[in-house]
Amino acid sequence: MTASSSVLTVRDLNVTYRGARGPVHAVSDASFDLHVDECIALIGESGSGKSTLGQSLARLLPVKTTAITGQVTYHGRRGPENVLTFTAPDLRAFRWRECAYVTQSAISAFNPLLRISEHFEETARAHGAFGRGSRTAAFELLESVRLEPTRVWNAYPHELSGGMRQRVLLALALLLEPKILILDEPTTALDVLTQRAIIDVLTSVRRRKKLGIIFISHDLGVASELADRLFTMYAGRIVETGTTEQVLRRTAHPYTASLLRAIPSLETQRDVTSIPGSPPNLVTLPTGCPFHPRCVHARPQCTRGHAPPLDLVDAGHGSACHFAGNVQAQTVRERKQHV
Ligand SMILES: Nc1ncnc2c1ncn2[C@@H]1O[C@H](COP(=O)(O)OP(=O)(O)OP(=O)(O)O)[C@@H](O)[C@H]1O
């Protein structure tokens, strides 16, 4: 893909929280492109930095407690712009209109005193987009997320179920036709049928609206169904990137391999194994590869120096592991044995 088809270019992004025990390195050296009409899923254990990465792209992190360095270039209606240097008015125009962020806690995104209709009107009005067609547009969006507009339009947020609120929030996020949608665990805590509805909605909406989506999830099944590419995060680093097919079938990082072994699979009848040990403390990261204390492939080289760079193992498939080739050969062999 060419650079011109990127909606977002991220280079050397580092995000540090000012923690009580010292700086928390929540995102380290992240570099990637999000293309138009592409869905990237960020996967990894709790605390690996997925939400921090997503929030930093939308500049949602509080300036007082976080330090962000690097470049986040948004290729929008006004040409390339560095999101990290946006002023407060730039950010107001950027959020929702260009880049919408939807979290799992849909309830906190709503004002309990306002009806759903008023949320749509306020959002449109705040961005100067309120007009005659607004109600029709809102109804169409509510229908596209499989809600009956007449049923939810005059309701207060607390009168709707969690799944309905999540879908209203998605419709609200799409109202201003953003180019980027960041979804942070949007299907967590929802029942399977509602999850299914949201996945279907996202699949169809993204194609129609040519959205770039970043999908943050614990659920590898949901992530791999939606995403064109999977990025595995560990200790604040992107340690494997590739198409969903590459990452799942030709896994080249031991941590991704461990994550995959930790979920039951209907396709490969193998035993589920949990990942030994726990993620590192992001204040005092181990030297060398941050995964080495938990890695069965670790050699002395992995314990020294800096974290390994994200090098290509196949075209478009990167792994930050000194032994990526061996790991990949083993995972491919294991897959063949278990299918
Ligand atoms: N405000 C904060 N101050 C200090 N540390 C923080 C703050 N917010 C998050 N962290 C730390 O940053 C790291 C990354 O957190 P983050 O929420 O981005 O991970 P995550 O992969 O999204 O996890 P989860 O799936 O549980 O949301 C964690 O170690 C977390 O404790």
Q: How does pLDDT run across 54-85, given as a tens digit for each residue? A: 999 999 998 888 999 999 999 988 889 999 99
pLDDT the model gives residue 275:
79
pLDDT of 1 over the 90 cut: no
Q: Which residue has its alpha carbon closest to ligand 1 atom 29?
A: 47
6-227 has CATH 3.40.50.300 classification: yes
Q: Quick count: other Cβ atoms within 10 Å of Cβ 243?
A: 17
> How far is the C-alpha of 17 from the C-alpha of 22, rounded, in Å?
9
What element of type H or E holds 67?
strand 66-76
Question: Highest-confidence range of 91-100, 200-209, 273-282, by mean pLDDT?
Answer: 91-100
**For residue 149, what pLDDT is reported?**
94
Supply the pLDDT for residue 6.
94
- Interface ipTM: 0.95
Does residue 146 come out as left (phi exceeding 0), alpha (psi in the -120 to 50 range) or beta?
left
Q: Name residues contacting ligand 1 (CB within 6 A).
A: 17, 19, 24, 26, 44, 46-52, 65, 282
Q: What is the pLDDT of residue 3?
A: 46
Residue spans in the chain of domains classed CATH 3.40.50.300 = 6-227
Residue 182 CA, ligand 1 centroid: distance in Å: 17
Nearest CA to ligand 1 atom 25: 46
Is residue 328 over pLDDT 90?
yes
Give the C-alpha separation, 198 to 141, whole Å. Answer: 13
CA of 26 to the centre of ligand 1 (A): 7
Yes or no: say if 179 and 98 are a contact pair by the CB < 8 Å rule.
yes
Residue type, 150: T
